[in-house]
Structure 1
Amino acid sequence: MDIRHVDLNLLRVFDAMLEHRSVSRAAEAIGLSQPAMSAAVARLRALFDDALFVRTGAQMQPTPRAVALAPAVRRVMETVKGEILQAHSFDPAASERTFTLITPDIGEINFVPRLLARLVRAGSGLNLRTLSMPRHAAAEALESGEAELAIGYFPDLHKAGMFQQLLFRNTFVCIVRADHPDVGDRLTLGQYLALPHAAVRPGREHLFEEFLQRKGLERRVLLETSHFTSLMPIIETSDLVATVPRDMANVCVQHANIRMLDVPLEAPTIEVHQFWPRRFHKDAGNMWLRGVLHELFRA
Structure 2
Amino acid sequence: MSSIHNADLNLIRIFDAVMEEQGVSRAAARLGLTQSAVSHALNKLRRQLDDELFIRGPDRMHPTPRAMELSSPLREALHQIEAAFQGPRFDPATAEAQFVIATSDYVIGTLMPPLLRRLQQVAPRVRFWLRPFNDLNLVEGLDRGTLHLVIGAFGRAPSRFAMEPLVSGPNVWIMRAGHPATDGAFDLTALARYPHLDILIAGQGAMTAGGTIDQEGLERAYVSSNPLQLDALLLEAGLTRTVGATASHILAVPPLVASTDMIAFVPKHLAEQHQVLAFRDPPYASPPLQISMLSHRTMGAHPSVAWLRAEIMAALHDHEGL
Q: Same fold (TM over 0.5)?
A: yes
What are the Cα deviations for residues 8-38 of structure 1, in whole angstroms up to 9, with x where unaligned?
2311111222334555543442344667545
Cα deviation, residue 226, structure 1: 1.9
Question: 2:270 aligned to 234, 245, 248, which one?
Answer: 248
1:297 lines up with 2:316 in the alignment: yes
State the TM-score, normalizing by the size of structure 1.
0.74
Q: 1:44 & 1:150 partners in 2: Cα distance? A: 52
Per the alignment, residue 282 of structure 1 pairs with 302
Q: Structure 1 stretches of 5 or more lacking a match?
A: none
Identity of aligned residues (%): 26
Per the alignment, residue 170 of structure 1 pairs with 169
What are the Cα deviations for residues 49-79 of structure 1, in whole angstroms up to 9, with x where unaligned?
456557777x7x54654x6314522442145
Q: 2:272 & 2:195 partners in 1: Cα distance? A: 21
Structure-2 change in CA distance of 1:116 and 1:16 (3 Å) = closer
Structure-2 change in CA distance of 1:98 and 1:26 (3 Å) = closer
Structure-2 change in CA distance of 1:56 and 1:131 (3 Å) = closer
- After TM superposition, the structure 1 = structure 2 runs for residues 119-198 of structure 1, keeping only pairs within 5 Å, are 119-122=119-122, 127-134=127-134, 136-143=136-143, 147-154=147-154, 158-159=157-158, 162-184=161-183, 187-189=186-188, 191-192=190-191, 195-198=194-197
Is contact 2:198–2:227 with CA below 8 Å preserved after alignment? Answer: no
Per the alignment, residue 40 of structure 1 pairs with 41
Cα deviation, residue 104, structure 1: 1.5
Per the alignment, residue 270 of structure 1 pairs with 289
What are the Cα deviations for residues 149-198 of structure 1, in whole angstroms up to 9, with x where unaligned?
33222558x33554543222233222222222234376345544665432
Structure-2 change in CA distance of 1:51 and 1:243 (3 Å) = same
SS of structure 1 residue aligned to 2:137: helix
Cα deviation, residue 95, structure 1: 5.9
Per the alignment, residue 229 of structure 2 pairs with 213
Structure-2 change in CA distance of 1:89 and 1:136 (3 Å) = closer
Per the alignment, residue 13 of structure 2 pairs with 12
Is contact 2:51–2:66 with CA below 8 Å preserved after alignment? Answer: no
SS of structure 2 residue aligned to 1:291: helix
Cα deviation, residue 112, structure 1: 3.4
Is contact 2:101–2:129 with CA below 8 Å preserved after alignment? Answer: yes
Q: 1:48 & 1:68 partners in 2: Cα distance? A: 9
Per the alignment, residue 113 of structure 2 pairs with 113
SS of structure 1 residue aligned to 2:166: strand
Question: 1:69 aligned to 48, 56, 67, which one?
Answer: 67
Per the alignment, residue 30 of structure 1 pairs with 31
Q: Structure 2 stretches of 5 or more lacking a match?
A: 212-220, 235-239
Is contact 2:13–2:78 with CA below 8 Å preserved after alignment? Answer: no
Is contact 1:211–1:267 with CA below 8 Å preserved after alignment? Answer: no
Structure-2 change in CA distance of 1:118 and 1:186 (3 Å) = farther
State the TM-score, normalizing by the size of structure 2.
0.70
Structure-2 change in CA distance of 1:221 and 1:230 (3 Å) = farther
Structure-2 change in CA distance of 1:182 and 1:282 (3 Å) = closer
Q: 2:249 & 2:241 partners in 1: Cα distance? A: 19
